[in-house]
Amino acid sequence: MAILIDGSTKVLCQGITGSAGAFHTKGCLDYGTSMVGGVTPGKGGQQDANGLPIFDTVADAVDATGATASMLFVPPAFAADGILEAATAGVEVICAITEGIPVADMVRTREILDRDHPGVVLIGPNCPGVITPGKRVAGEGPEATFEGGCKIGIMPGYIHTHRADAASGKAVGIVSRSGTLTYEAVWQCSDRGIGQSTCVGIGGDPVKGMNFIDCLERFEADPETDEVVMIGEIGGTDEVDAGRWAAQHMTKPVVGFIAGRTAPKGKRMGHAGAIIGGADDTADAKISALREAGLEVSDSPAGLGHAMAIALGLGAEAT
């Protein structure tokens, strides 16, 4: 099993005719994702380079294809409206990959989603997306082919491992504010024979959709997730809140990592939400809080694989 998406999920790309949308639509198709069409206003009735139908509106696309998920590459100025259009059309999972959406737009969007579309799951914005790995059927590395999985976003699919292909027979769920650190954790898992159930990049903006607790709840309920990896960074209180929630509600081990130990106070570090506003949202403060909650916290991203293997009881041979 998995959370949020699986091999049966039908996916649209909003902004499919833009360079990023076109490139990553092909990447998702090549991975085996059921991409069923795209949306670009004014280009309805055409096809993209992959032969997928293009629609003028998300509502038209959903009616014609039955899509339940969307991958959004709409430019920042129009992305919030694109999220709301997808929600209004009945899309259940919206992955907003777009970076640079104005915070005021996201505050308005969250208010409307929470009020009018409480069942819609928004991932992002400013995120790599979400992937439920498929089973490898042929090839190695970037040339490998997969089936039964779903990749919505920009992550390199070939580094992910389905539980059935993992030497350990174990699978972890990964949730992260950082795209690059998500890939690092995945690679270390796969290199140690540990599969992944679902990997969710929740994004680094201060106002976003899913948070850590939303993912932890789903991973806890998923029988095919044996452990959870939570990767956070400076800024905000989400990681500490999630650690305290995990201490009370999680039966599965949770391994954490917090980026930004050397970040200076008051200086934004990459992500819009990665800024230290006080003593409680520094990396050291978050690490201490997570350890007090009973989580295993790696001091370095290079140690994530080791921490995961130990938490799963795989011993030194897997580290």
Give buried/exposed letters for 199-230 (b at 16+ CB in 10 A, else e): bbbbbbbbbbbbbbbbbbebbbebebbbbbbb
* Integer Rg of the chain from CA: 19
Half-sphere exposure of 43 (CA within 13 A, CB side): 15
Query: In whole angstroms, what is the distance from residue 232 CA to residue 212 CA?
Result: 9
Tell me phi and psi for residue 163, to 5 degrees: -55, -40
Query: In whole angstroms, what is the distance from residue 194 CA to residue 20 CA?
Result: 31
Can 271 be counted among the known catalytic residues? yes
Helix (H, G, I), strand (E, B) or coil at 21: helix
Q: How many helical (H) and strand (E) elements, i.e. helices and strands, does the chain have?
A: 9, 15
Among 24, 160, 162, 271, the active-site one is 271
Distance in angstroms between the alpha carbons of the first and the last residue of the chain: 26
Catalytically active residues are: 271
